[in-house]
Structure 1
Amino acid sequence: MDGESLTVGTSMALTCAGLVVLLYGEYAGFTETAVPVGGVVALAGVGILTAHVARLPDPEDGETGH
């Protein structure tokens, strides 16, 4: 497994886990504890994915298919 797959996998896992915790916290009535934690975890996953995508190089002229 290379670094790119690990980064994308980690960010997606954090985002999904955070959303599950957030939604379950709302459902179960744990709005004081679970919802903020789920939100922070989901935002961490989105932040990691955004940072990874922001540092991808621009494609070369021949790679775009134009």
Structure 2
Amino acid sequence: MEQELKVGPGRPALPPEQKRKQKNFRLSPDTIALIEGIAAVNQMNDTEIVEKAVSEFAKRNGVELAEADV
């Protein structure tokens, strides 16, 4: 008697050959340093410095930022 495997709320599990492969990605040392810097500054609660760092990172990487609705 074959039993259907369940994953999550009522979803059948995929057979091993159909499972999605994990996507690996690497961050550049500059990106890692920026993230660590933002985290450190964020712990100090200095919003202006965090916004400036994010803005500079976005400019360097061609990312367009939207204004937050706060």
Instruction: Say whether the fold is shared (TM-score over 0.5).
Output: no
TM-score after normalising by structure 1: 0.41
- Quick check: which one's strand share is greater? 2
- Quick check: which one's helix share is greater? 1
TM-score after normalising by structure 2: 0.39
Structure 1 or 2, whichever has the larger Rg, is 2
